[in-house]
Structure formats: structure tokens, C-alpha cells
A and B are shown apart, each in its own frame.
Chain A
């Protein structure tokens, strides 16, 4: 007994003496990563803020203009349309993914032979590069050859082919639908992971107390799933609002900018017209969403980890 205590004691003192070398080791392990992130993430972000406060073009000198770009953008019709598109796109897609994701998780939590492969199949839209999958959707929404139109016409639901990506309201619906398609697996699988951690005894106790499936879902599943719900939701808000590939491939922001979102407008302005100052300002309108979401996530994380 005493020898074990002695070893333990030695180890703690050893730890105390080693403290300074440990700090050196830690920083040397972290140095490459920190350098990389400073040069290729922190610096560019700062540079984006700088650009957004200038009238920089691709070539030629840049002048400091303060917050002028941000203010003038708010008076530009295309920008305000883009901003409201981005908000509706994010709200619509995230809400749909949340509801369908919960349903999907409950479906995948059932036990049946081959369920592992069903889960795999449902995850495929997440694995495949979004931009490539969007080509299939472009083809499925094609104004002439759309398979969706063919089915709807043969079911008698529509008489004429619909121009999905050429009609403002339908194009908006289409980009949200496709975003839901590619983002749903992430929601479903994370909710499923949350579901399986809920102790089965709680449900049994609920059943004994006479709670039906809906009551059990509302009073057992939802409250215990809340941490997972919060993380997934916050993460998805950031990713959906900053989405680019879905809209870029499917509609390029059209028709008449009705599906234009911040990232696609920034790309258009920055690369097609070379107006770097305004392009940077447009993309930085994403920053508040990012900042709030990050702040809340970091706080949640600390609570979970009990730092």
C-alpha cells in the first residue's frame, strides 16, 4: 500500500518538475497548426475586413472609405433582395432539415435486418461532393427533360411542363429542397446518435405511467435531445447561410436574382466585375450570424465539458 502511494506521490512531483518542459513541448506541437491558421484563416479574415472598408478593385490603388460599402449596399435593390433571400433560404432549409431530421432519426432508430445499410444509403448525399450532385438535380429540374415534370404530368397533377429553375417562386423552392436533400443526413445521423444515448428505462417508466408515444416523445425524447439539437442547429445555420455550391450550380442566383444569396453575389461581384471592396462587404454580412452562432456554441461546449 505505502509503496503504491509513494509511486503516486513521485509521479505528481515528477509532473510538477516537468511542468516547464511540458509547456515547451505543447507549444512546439501546436506551432505548425497555429502558424497555418494565423496565415491562412485569421489573416485573410482580417484582410476581408480591410478590403470591405476600401474601394479596392482587382488592380489599381485602394482608398479607405470606412463603412461606406456596407451602408451603400443596404440601399442597393439587388443586395437587399439577396440579404432577404439568404435569410429565407436559411430559415426554410434549416427548419425543414430539423423536422425531417427528427423523423429520419426516429425511422433509423428502429431495429431491422440491414438497418446499417439503410443508414449508409441515407448518408450518401452528404458524402458526395455537393457541386457534382447539383448537376443531377439540374438535370432533374431541366425545363424540357425534367423527370419530375414527367411524373407529375403522368399523374395528372400538371398539364404543362413546369420551368422549375426559371420561375422565381419555384426556383426558391427548388434550391431549398436541394439544400435539404444534401443536409438532411447530417441532421438525421446526429439526432440518431443523440437518441441512442437516452436510457431505455426512461421510456419503460413512461409507458408504465401510461404515457403514449407522443407524450413520451415530447417529455422524454425532446428534452434529452436538446444539447444535440442546439449544436446541430447552430452549426447548420452557419453552413446553410454561407452555402455556395447549391445555388451556384443550380440557378447561378437567377432568375432575376430571386435565388441570389450572399456567397453567390460576393463571388459574382468579386470575380466577374472585380469589385473587391463591395464583394468583401457582402460576404461579411455573414459575419454577425457566424459570430453569434460561434459565441453560443463555445458557451454550450464549456458547459458540457465543465471547464
Chain B
């Protein structure tokens, strides 16, 4: 018995290993490149897996003192946090109405939100760029704060609608019978029960907003106003010369906020990822 279960565990690890290595290797490789000295990094005679000349922090030092990287991190965090709060509030209200209230066109509205959720940002970046120019929002963080909820809200609404329907009606209905208003019932009865779903929606919203690329690339041209995804990708590469050490360090540090959130709330992410397809 013990031997067969031990064998089973060994098989599990052995079969999982290639997938784990495939998934994680690029990040290990970023870390290695970001810590190597340039002489070794660009020395073809060296084994790239070894760090012989000792590690250096110069790439990170360059990143934080000679580039706009700290500003990009701040911009991304501000935009992602703001849009997450706005989107979750809007989505809670909308999802509650779709999951709980009876009204004409409820079904059509649900379908509408779902369809919008499927429209990819690559179809909308051009017209939105013109719209932002019209509102005089081009090249400001506002252009992102305004447009990101348009893809975050449908997703969050979708996820929360599904979550709200799992909450039993009885508790809420007795509150209504006791004279609570709908808004009151939502705030005092449903919201506390829906906390895990709301946390998941917020985490997903933040991750989506933080990772967004094409809007930021299209709407923002000033270096200091870029988000971390476009800043690192576009502005750290000057001409043909790649500062690979700093580039890898930048990509790694910029990924950290979402990776930390992910490791803290692993189960929420898994729940969200399977509740509503986000991207694949």
C-alpha cells in the first residue's frame, strides 16, 4: 500500500515537472540576467547558467535612478487601483440587479453584458484613441482610468452575477420583509456574504488593468506618463542597444505586484479563472 502510494506521488511530481519548468523558466532566466555583470552576460564563452563573476545590483540601480521606471510603477498602480474600485462598485450594483431583481429585459441585458465582455480591446483601440482625443484626454492617465472599466466591468459583472445566484434568497428576503430597502439588503445582507466573490473580482480586475498593454501603448506617448507594461517594453529599448540586464530586472520587478497578490490569494485566482474565462 505505502509503496504504491509513494510511486503515485513520484509519478505526479515527474509528470508535473516539465510543465512547471516550462512555466517558470522565463522568470528564472530574467532573474539570472538581471543579476549578472555585463562582462559575463555578453560573454559567449561562458556557460549562461552559471554566475561566476559574482552578482551585481547595477542593473537595478540603473533602472531606479536613470530611468522613469519608478514613475511607471506608480502610474500602473494608481490606474489599476482606481479602475478596480470603480469597476467593482459598478459591477456589484449591476450584478445584483441581474442576479436578483425581476424586471423586463433582464435576460437581454445579461446577454448584452456578456457580449461586450467578449469584444477584444484590439478591436476598440483605434476608435477609442479618437474618442480620447475628442475628450482632450489623450496622453493623460485619465484616458486609461476612463477606458479600463469598459473591459473590467463586464467581466466583474459576469463573475459577480454567478456568485450572487449562489447566495440563498431566504436571508435577504427576510430582511426585505423586515422593512429593509433593496439597497439596504444589498449592503447589509448580500455584500457580507458575497465577500469572497468580490475579492476575486477585485483581484482579477487589478490584474487585468495592471497588465493592459494596447490602450496604454496607443493613448500615452510621454515617457513619464507611461504604465509599467509599455514603459519597460518601449522606452527601455533605445535604438538597437538593449540593456538586457535592466530590461530583465524591470520586467521582473514590474511583474512582482501581481505575482505577490497571486501567491497570497491563490485560491481566489483559481476560482475566478474558472468562473469566467478571461483570456487564453
Contact = CB atoms under 8 A, between A and B. Distances in A.
Interface of A: 11, 14, 19, 22-23, 25-27, 29-30, 32-34, 36-37, 40-45, 47-48, 51, 97, 104, 107-108, 110-113, 115-116, 118-137, 139-140, 142, 144-145, 147, 150, 181, 183-190, 193, 231-232, 235-236, 238-240, 242-245, 248-249, 262-263, 266-267, 270-271, 276, 279-280, 283-284, 286-287, 290, 293-294, 297-298, 301, 307
B280 A245 contact: no
A284 B182 CA distance: 42
Nearest to B47: A150
Given A124-B23, A240-B280, A244-B214, A26 B274 contact: no
5 contacts: A23-B102, A107-B16, A122-B20, A129-B210, A139-B29
B23 A125 contact: yes
Interface string B31-59: 00100000001101001110000000000
Contacts of B91: 33
Given A30-B97, A186-B273, A22 B126 contact: no
Contacts of B107: 307
Contacts of B60: none
Interface string B86-115: 000011011011100111101101011111
Interface string B7-42: 011011101100110111011011001000000011
B146 interface: yes
Interface residues of B, number: 100
Contact of A30 (B26, B93, B207, B273): B93
Contacts of B150: 36-37, 40-41
B122 interface: yes
Nearest to B41: A145
A123 B101 contact: no
A45 B273 contact: no
Contact of B274 (A128, A193, A280): A193
B131 interface: yes
B84 interface: no
A165 B232 CA distance: 20
Contacts of A287: 123
Given A48-B123, A145-B42, A136 B23 contact: no
A23 to B, nearest CB: 4
A205 B96 CA distance: 42
Given A23-B104, A26-B103, A242 B16 contact: no
Give the residue among B8, B123, B124 with the most A Cβ atoms within 10 A.
B123
B273 to A, nearest CB: 5
A226 to B, nearest CB: 16
Contacts of B29: 136, 139-140, 147
B255 A128 contact: yes
B213 A129 contact: yes
Contacts of B85: none
